[in-house]
Structure 1
């Protein structure tokens, strides 16, 4: 396998070497993003949905306490919103003043959620750039290889060997294949990350809306 790898680098030239470096860097970023998504428990909303349901039925202390053991991104944001609303409930505020403060709180939590989602989206643009550059680099290597092949063919004149021409062409096409081999899996990874982020963004919007539209504790208790 090592000999095959060495021969691939020798045949493909510097373009294949560049693609190799890009693929290693892309793999490192993908693994780091997988760890980041797993640490933030992206897509895991079971306990949070249950807590929001408890919150809306009046079990506010229980809902907030249940989220302490959940280390997901959504749990942290929803718990912050619940704690802040409970602090508002304890203050002697008029209805108008409470509405103003709650609206400011909602904007603050939304901004915090956007910031956390932005952090999760970091480096995805770099991976997307890899999916665009890798095929172009492969094509560039193919063009250079074809130029070299036809230049050799021209110098050979009437004594040109068709087998040599065919060999030069397939070596030139090798860089295109390497570029596509790098771009395709990275493109799949980027699509997967972006899909998870969109679902997380939608879930956060639904969960936070459920918390803020539940009304004050006195209103919930009276219902």
Structure 2
């Protein structure tokens, strides 16, 4: 393609950055939709725990939603109703909580990787473009047109700008999404911890 050839050494780097940008945008959209509900449902869990404290166990389980904290809490309630208690139950709840957190965190590492390597790829494109520009200047034995040399330099610098444009949104999104996943994990710990306290105290 003409534009690809015009960009010289920076063309392949820009193509890679374009692919990384598409992956980044797709991940941001998918993870935002997936993590949007993980911190919700707090009032429903409060109501379910209140029902459990009053001894209405079936009503407590029925009032839960489908967020990560709701799923782990529902399992804990069912296990307690079935007589599953003690260290084995805590270990199983920990395992389920870790699985939920791993699912919430999946894909965020890829965003962090894109944020890390995109500026490096941009810098690589700039360095290779500058090398090419100065090689052309050397071959021209100092007689090169200044406008041609300047054109080669801006083409080289374009890859650094592109790398930063890809990296900045990916870094911001990775940080925000990781924080939301952590809040989802905290919701799981809070819900299960409160259930265990209620169970120790016994029905009102």
Instruction: Tell me the TM-score range normalised by the shorter chain.
Output: 0.7 to 0.9
Partner of 2:24: 26
Is 1:43 aligned to 2:43, yes or no?
no
Q: 1:174-199 deviations in whole A, cap 9, x for unaligned?
A: 00011111111111111111000111
Q: Based on CA coordinates, which of the two structures has the bigger radius of gyration?
A: 1
CA contact (8 A) 2:122 2:159 kept: yes
- Cα RMSD between the aligned structures? 2.3
Q: Give 2:155's match in structure 1, choosing from 171, 196, 202.
A: 171
* Residue number in structure 2 paired with 1:220: 203
Deviation of 1:14 after TM superposition, in Å, equals 0.8
Q: CA deviation at 1:27?
A: 2.3
Structure 1 distance, partners of 2:35, 2:45, is 17
Alpha-carbon shift at residue 8 of structure 1 (Å): 7.1
User: Deviation string for 1:70-123 (max 9, x for gaps)?
Assistant: 1211111111111211222xxxxxxxxx8xx33321221121111121122122
Q: Is 1:138 aligned with 2:122?
A: yes
Shift of 1:30: 2.6
Alignment match, 2:68: 73
SS, match of residue 134 in structure 1: helix
Aligned residues of 1:48 and 1:75 also touching (Cα < 8 A) = yes
The 5-angstrom pairing of residues 79-94 of structure 1 reads: 79-88=74-83
Distance 2:189 2:102 in 1: 15
Taking the aligned partners of 2:74 and 2:80, their CA distance within structure 1 comes to 10
Q: 1:12-70, CA deviations, whole angstroms, 9 ceiling, x for partnerless residues?
A: 411101111121222223333233324xx211132113322332354433322211xx1
Rounded Cα–Cα distance in structure 2 between residues aligned with 1:48 and 1:188 = 31
Structure 2: unaligned runs, 5 residues or longer: none
TM-score (norm 2): 0.88
User: Within 2, Cα distance between the matches of 1:212 and 1:9?
Assistant: 66
Asked whether the 8 Å contact 1:42–1:73 carries over to 2, the reply is yes
Cα distance per residue 1:125-175 (max 9 Å; x no partner): 222111111111110000011001111112223423322222221111000
Work out the CA distance in 1 between the residues paired with 2:142 and 2:186: 68
Q: Residue 200 of structure 1 aligns with which residue?
A: 184
- 2:146 pairs with 1:150: no
- Which residue number corresponds to residue 94 of structure 1? none
